[in-house]
Amino acid sequence: MRERNQSLDALKGITILLVMFGHVQVHNQMTDPYLYDVIKSLQMPMFFLISGYLAGVGTKIQSIKQYRERMFKRVISYLLPFFSWLVVQHLSYIPRAVKTVLFQLDYGLWFLMTLFLFTWLTYTAQLCEAKVKRAWGFWLIYLGGCMGILVAYLAGVTFLSPSLLIIYLPYYTAAYLIGRCQEHLTQWISVSVQRVMAYLSGIVFMVMAVALDLVTVTSALMLGIQTIASFLGCWFVIRLVLDWKEEKWKHRLAVLGQYTLEIYVLHYQFAAILNPDHISYTFWSPSGLLYSAAAFGAMSILTAVGIYIIDHIGLFRLLLFGKKK
């Protein structure tokens, strides 16, 4: 259990580093098409895979009381920081900002709202399963919710951005299934076979990243291809981390992984702190590489300082990080 938890935390640590580096590129208009394809294909899909897996292996909802308690915790953990940061960043026009973000989640901390909605759907489905005492109770609600998201997307609904939800729902759902059926999967597929499959997946992923545009969604077919690429790339990285025996750096990444929410809500505000004049750099150039390293370092230091300060002020920690202690 210790190894599994450390591996998950290390995965989160690696993923948040990818998010940070990706934002250095994006906020400074210096994205390399191949490198950013790799980053974009891994970062957020990996977070949803981890979240779905944890929901699958975790204790299931058994009663209304438990449902209320867990949903309240998720409101505090996800929604409170989502709206608190929205208010902080848009003090002069809060009502308009709230309306804009709720109809276009990627204008705000969209991951928190998206994860809340997926978690809400999962907990509701688990409660139904507990009441009817049959697995079909879970799938009746869960697949019904998935169909609702799909119908809303096809109908052009923009409230809570179904177009965004539908991109990341497959990762959360697949990982939830893996977590739920973990014991059976380890019996069906040996570790050695998993390892070979993962390394082959990594090769295919890299070929796809070079040959295709894995960032821009131009059609349903392209979205499907991008989703497959992300699954392949994430599976490769997951296997690498599970097989990683060097404890020193794995432990450090695991420690970093325990602060992913704090880093997520803070870091991007400092991504262009060294570039107030919005100078364009070519990434694969001496000046571009030097600036990227300096920008990443400055962003990391300021983020760490911000986390330290907020974490030591109880009310701020609750509102901005969704954590009581």
pLDDT tens digit string along 91-139?
888 999 999 999 999 888 999 999 999 999 999 999 999 999 999 999 9
Single-letter amino acid, residue 115: L
| pLDDT value, residue 125 | 98
Single-letter amino acid, residue 267: H
Name the band, by pLDDT with cuts 50, 70 and 90, for residue 1: very low
Distances (CA, A) of 119 to 16, 67, 263: 21, 11, 21
Tell how far CA 125 is from the center of its chain: 22
Domain boundaries, the chain: 2-320
Q: Find the radius of gyration of the CA atoms of the chain.
A: 20
Name the band, by pLDDT with cuts 50, 70 and 90, for residue 278: confident
Closest CA to 305 of 270, 260, 276, 272: 270
Least confident of 6-10, 131-135, 169-173, 275-279: 275-279
Q: How confident is the model over 35-57, as a mean pLDDT?
A: 95
Closest CA to 125 of 184, 171, 56, 47: 56
Distances (CA, A) of 102 to 94, 113, 143, 321: 12, 9, 24, 20
**What letters, b where the CB count within 10 A reaches 16 and e where it falls short, cover 46-64?**
bbbbbbbbebbbeebbeee
Q: pLDDT: is 3 or 213 the higher one? A: 213
The token pair at 274 is 């060294």
Q: Over 80: is that where the pLDDT of 325 sits? A: no
> Cβ–Cβ contacts within 10 Å for residue 204, how many?
15
State percent of the chain over pLDDT 70.
99
Q: pLDDT: is 39 or 191 the higher one? A: 39
DSSP state of 60: P
Least confident of 21-30, 116-125, 153-162, 201-210: 21-30
* Best-predicted range by mean pLDDT (72-81, 91-100, 281-290): 72-81
| pLDDT value, residue 105 | 92
Residue with tokens 């109770």: 137
The token pair at 188 is 């069906």
Say if residues 248 and 254 touch (Cβ distance below 8 Å).
Answer: no
Q: Over 50: is that where the pLDDT of 3 sits? A: no
Distances (CA, A) of 44 to 24, 116, 265, 307: 16, 15, 14, 21
Name the band, by pLDDT with cuts 50, 70 and 90, for residue 40: very high
| pLDDT value, residue 215 | 85
> What are the φ/ψ torsions at residue 324 (nearest 5 degrees)?
-80, -40
pLDDT tens digit string along 237-266?
999 999 988 788 999 999 999 999 999 999
State percent of the chain over pLDDT 90.
79
Q: What is the mean pLDDT of the chain?
A: 93
